[in-house]
Amino acid sequence: MSVRDITEDDEGKKVVDARGETVGRVVDVEHGTAHVDPDPGVTDTVMSKLGWGDSDEDTYPLQEASIAEVTDDEIRLDDL
């Protein structure tokens, strides 16, 4: 498994949970933090576990501690 710093090269990658289900897509990277546009099908429970509470924002920051692996195609999250 490869965990590394998030860079602008990761923009556009899908973000998947430990089961491989898509939870969103990286739309922006600022100061090493990926900002994710959540998949419309992501449940409130998953969003809560990621720290993505109710917000009027369109994107949510992805906490480094939630990331299990970064590959060429996706960012895989730890088991929620």
Tokens for 58, please give them: 């369109």
Model pTM? Answer: 0.81
pLDDT value of residue 11: 96
Please tell me the distance from the alpha carbon of residue 7 to that of residue 30, in angstroms, as a whole number: 8
Reading the block at residue 17, the tokens are: 């949970």
* Per-domain residue ranges of the chain: 8-77
* CATH architecture of the domain with range 8-77: Alpha-Beta Complex (3.90)
Q: Who wins on pLDDT, 15 or 47?
A: 15
Residues 6 or more apart whose CB falls under 8 angstroms from that of 35 comprise: 26, 27, 28, 29, 59, 60, 61, 62
For 25-71, the pLDDT digits (tens) are 999 999 999 999 998 777 777 777 787 776 557 889 998 889 999 99
Phi, psi of 45 (to 5 degrees): -65, -50
